């Protein structure tokens, strides 16, 4: 057995496989309407696992030591975000590039690229990392892809960039006065985004989530149906393939944005608790591996990647239960979609590489 496979972190591998399998089973339980998604997600899983093993065989220090590699990934992602704006809209957004019958979402690559860039940048600055000039430069790294994503428009994905950036600068010890200034700047950006970037349908979603019943057949419909599906699951769930909301077509986007509701309807509260436990164990294992590494690049990458996984899961859950406006955030590992899944597996491959090639391993 190759050295990298012998030293692969099999618990992490197994947790990722288990979570994705749960997502595939949920897709299969939605009904015949989701059969094509079920079949394709299996293919995406196999591709993702292959990419994970490929990246695990690379030495992660390639990203830590060579700026050209890191910046290359970043600018490829930015260029693809420019290209995607030339494609036709799907459901009022331009988020996908079409390649050989498949859809690719450049924003997912950009998220991972930004995490790598920020980890590389701050790991080089050491004790100077918290200085305001470095905070500003790091902000410029995220504002370019986030701004292009807002033009699609995709508010949810753009928000993920700011969450990742905020978590990393807090971890490096940004002074409180700078943090206050950042929050004020964030409020200004949100205001500008509301006035200049958000479409009317997005504004109505944000407003209607406060009281979906004000527009039960329009902007509030998805939230109402999602809540009904989650409530119908009860403690034990309706059973695999027996969810009336998801199989009956009442739950919109049950395979992507509202897959958590479809899962909750089928598997109930007990299933939700098991899902959260698996997700927590995966995040905990990523933290164990990356925080034990002997360099700041690995630690900061691990933090950013954990925030990416957790933010997607928590925001998606908040949307499904009606605590947040509908913004189209996929649930980590569960939602249908090759771009998000393969990028997550790529990130896990880099975590595996840290495990394999770090001195503690």
* Domain definitions of the chain by residue range: 3-357
Which tokens sit at 209? 């989530």
Q: How far is CA 209 from the centre of its chain?
A: 22
How far apart are alpha carbons 242 and 236 in whole angstroms? 12
Whether residue 37 contacts residue 255, with contact meaning beta carbons closer than 8 Å, is answered with yes
pTM above 0.95, yes or no: no
Q: How far apart are CA 215 and CA 80, in angstroms?
A: 36
State the Cα angle at 161 between 159 and 164, rounded to 5°.
110
Integer angstrom CA distances of residue 282 from 2, 18, 288, 309: 24, 10, 10, 10
pLDDT at position 361: 41
Distance of CA 277 to the CA centre of its chain: 18
Contacts with 226 (C-beta within 8 Å, 6 or more apart), sequence order: 251, 258, 261, 319, 320, 321, 322
- DSSP state for residue 98 in the 8-state scheme: E
Answer whether 23's CB lies under 8 Å from 333's CB. Answer: yes
d(CA 224, CA 240): 22
Angstrom distance (rounded) from CA 18 to CA 275: 10
* Beta-sheet pairing, 102-104 with 97-99: antiparallel
Cα–Cα distance measured from residue 62 to residue 80, given in angstroms and rounded to the nearest whole number: 23
The rounded distance, in Å, linking the Cα atoms of 336 and 250 is: 18
In whole angstroms, what separates CA 6 from the centre of its chain? 29
Among 345, 354, 257, 340, residue whose Cα is nearest residue 297: 354
Token pair in block for residue 327: 């913004």
**What whole-number distance in Å separates Cα of residue 2 and Cα of residue 282?**
24
CA dihedral sign, ordered 275, 163, 122, 104: positive
Q: Which residues pair with 103 in a beta bridge?
A: 98
Residue whose tokens read 């990722």: 16
pLDDT along the chain (361 residues), means of 10: 72 98 95 84 96 94 86 92 81 74 87 96 78 87 92 87 94 82 80 69 66 68 91 93 87 92 96 98 98 93 98 96 87 95 97 86 41
- Of 84, 167, 161, give the one whose Cα is nearest residue 122: 167
What does the pLDDT read at residue 241?
87
């Amino acid at each position: 057995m190759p050295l990298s496979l012998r030293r692969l972190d099999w618990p992490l591998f197994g947790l990722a496989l288990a979570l994705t399998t749960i997502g595939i089973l949920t897709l299969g339980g939605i009904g015949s309407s989701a059969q094509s998604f079920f079949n394709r997600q299996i293919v995406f899983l196999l591709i993702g696992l292959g990419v994970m093993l490929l990246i695990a065989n690379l030495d992660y220090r390639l990203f830590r030591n060579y700026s050209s590699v890191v910046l290359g990934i970043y600018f490829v992602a930015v260029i693809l975000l420019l290209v995607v704006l030339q494609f036709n809209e799907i459901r009022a957004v331009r988020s996908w590039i079409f390649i050989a019958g498949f859809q690719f979402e450049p924003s997912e690559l950009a998220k991972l690229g930004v995490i790598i860039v920020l980890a590389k940048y701050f790991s080089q600055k050491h004790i100077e990392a918290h200085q305001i000039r470095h905070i500003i430069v790091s902000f410029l790294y995220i504002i370019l892809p986030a701004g292009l994503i807002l033009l699609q428009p995709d508010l949810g994905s753009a928000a993920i960039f700011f969450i990742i950036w905020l978590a990393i600068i807090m971890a490096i010890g940004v002074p409180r006065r700078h943090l206050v200034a950042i929050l004020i700047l964030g409020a200004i950006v949100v205001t500008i985004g509301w006035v200049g970037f958000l479409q009317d349908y997005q504004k109505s979603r944000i407003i209607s989530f406060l009281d979906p019943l004000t527009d039960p057949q329009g902007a509030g419909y998805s939230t109402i149906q999602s809540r009904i599906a989650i409530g119908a699951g009860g403690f034990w769930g309706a059973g695999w393939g027996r969810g009336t909301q998801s199989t009956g077509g009442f739950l919109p986007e049950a395979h992507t944005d509202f897959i958590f509701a479809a899962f909750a309807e089928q598997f109930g509260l007990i299933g939700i608790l098991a899902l959260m436990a698996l997700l927590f164990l995966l995040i905990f294992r990523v933290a164990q591996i990356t925080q034990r590494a002997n360099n700041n690049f690995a630690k900061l990458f691990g933090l950013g990647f954990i925030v990416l996984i957790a933010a997607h899961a928590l925001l998606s859950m908040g949307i499904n239960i009606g605590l947040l406006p509908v913004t189209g955030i996929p649930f980590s590992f569960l939602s249908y979609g090759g771009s998000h899944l393969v990028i997550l597996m790529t990130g896990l491959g880099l975590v595996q590489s840290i495990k394999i090639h770090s001195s503690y391993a």
